[in-house]
Amino acid sequence: MYKRFPLSLRIFLVIILVVVSSMFAMGLITFYQYVRIAREYNNKKLERKEQLIVETFDYLLSKKNTASSEVKDKIGNKIYEISDINNLDINFYSLNGNFLLGNKIPDASSKFIPKEYLKSLSINNDRIKINKKSPLTGENYATIYRYIYNNNYEPIAIINFPFLHDEFFLKKDFHTLLYRYLVIMLIVLVVSGVFSWFFSQTLTRKIKDLAQRLSDTGALTNNRPILYNYIDEISPLVKAYNIMLVKFKEQTDALIKSEKDNAWQQMARQVAHEIKNPLTPMRLEIQSFQLRFNPEDPEIKDKLNKLIRSLITQIDTIASIAEAFSDFAKMSIKKDEKINVLEIAKNSLEIFPSQYIEIVAEENIILNFDPNLLNRILTNLVKNAFQAIPENQTPEIIVRITQDNHNVYFLVIDNGTGIPKEIQSKIFTPQFSTKSSGSGLGLAIIKKIIEEYNGSINFTSEEDVGSVFKFEIPKGE
């Protein structure tokens, strides 16, 4: 499924995933470190408070060499004052673990110190800390037992601090930190999302441009190298494309030259063949006339005139062949102008019998075209239409011209014998002709002219019914 996503979306999702994963990992590390530091700070704070309270009671009990039995009397009500100031419960026990006094009335669990605690306190020789969980609230708390000494550094009592692990401020600060981190994460996510989307679009736009240039590359197009000034993973691809263009142009030029050479060779052979066709009968007629020539023959003058007429006909054929090949070979210089198509069509077809031609067109069809070339196209097509109609049949030729917003359409319809199916594919092929005296270049020239204007030509034909030649030409600017 992921592979079906566009490349830009995949890059965007990967960047967002990296950002989110990084921030999540940083968040876990940050919160873990915060909790550890906060708890250490809280423990040290309680230790400082404990030390301060112990020093306070040491001061109260250090005026004289206090005995264990005097602890309760010397402390008295001071325990309430010190407990309130430090917001901490305080209990005093005798050395054997019995309750002496405290800021609160003792319950069953605080009337004495368990023996294992006393033993542990004796072994550690100073202080023990017991972590417990309250059976009522389930909260963790620590209770500390430590000796109180007199001036002779003799233990005279055991002081106890049963204080809870106050995590209220820890949780409050944690929630505040979490809220701020989520806000920052949201801002970073939005900024990184905008940046990653822009970056992915910019990166893929270069690839799309390169793909478009690759798809537009062709032998007949104006291929231009890609200018790319960045040094990244795309630059080798651009460099390879530019090198390919150079090699492609060299190969295209070589191919075009080879095709031109082959075309001119083929053209030369065709010209020689077409000119040789009328020259052979001319030679035979002259040789025959020479063998039979008799100055005394009373019909010599008529025979001479007949020979001259025959030679002139053959010479005209050679001239028409040469002209047709010349027209096909040369690239006409187009002189485009805004023309009225109906007017040009009427002028072009005046040379044909008007009773056999019907022109159907609007008055205001305007085309950007060379009028001489349009005249040539219409004249050739109508001439072919007349030649396709048998002599014993009345010609009916329709020239229909229509238009839309972009093109002008021409139809030349005749009622001739039609074009046989087996030769329809060769109609626009140079040198192909159905007429013995034709050069086979008329329709090829027409097709060439129309395609130079980005137009197209085709036909439909049915034997013994007629043919329809249709071509269309873009209106141009």
Tokens of 112: 């004495």
pLDDT one digit per residue (tens) for the chain, 477 residues? 555 667 677 777 888 888 888 888 887 887 788 778 777 777 787 778 888 888 888 777 766 677 877 888 888 888 888 888 888 888 989 888 888 888 888 887 778 888 888 888 876 567 888 877 766 666 667 788 888 888 777 888 888 887 655 555 566 677 777 788 788 888 888 888 888 787 777 777 777 777 777 666 665 556 677 777 767 666 777 777 788 878 877 777 777 777 666 766 666 666 666 666 666 667 777 777 777 777 777 777 777 777 777 777 677 667 766 666 666 555 456 778 888 989 988 888 887 888 888 998 887 888 888 888 888 888 888 888 888 888 888 899 999 999 988 899 999 999 988 888 888 777 777 654 555 444 456 788 888 888 888 899 999 988 888 899 999 999 876
pTM for the full model? 0.39
Which residue type does 7 have?
Answer: L
What gap in Å lies between CA 415 and CA 396, rounded to an integer?
Answer: 6
Closest CA to 91 of 82, 140, 147, 100: 100
What gap in Å lies between CA 403 and CA 367, rounded to an integer?
Answer: 10
- Domain limits, the chain: 1-43+172-216, 62-166, 235-329, 337-474
337, burial (CB in 10 Å: exposed 0-12, middle 13-18, buried 19+)? exposed
Nearest-Å Rg of the Cα atoms of the chain is 56
Determine the angle formed by the axes of helices 300-329 and 235-291, rounding to 10 degrees: 180
Per-residue burial over 365-380, b = 16 or more CB atoms within 10 Å of its CB, e = otherwise: bebebbbebbebbbbb
Domain range 62-166, CATH architecture = 2-Layer Sandwich (3.30)
What gap in Å lies between CA 376 and CA 443, rounded to an integer?
Answer: 11
Q: What CATH number was assigned to the domain covering residues 337-474? A: 3.30.565.10
Mapping DSSP to helix (H, G, I), strand (E, B) and coil, where does residue 128 land? Answer: strand
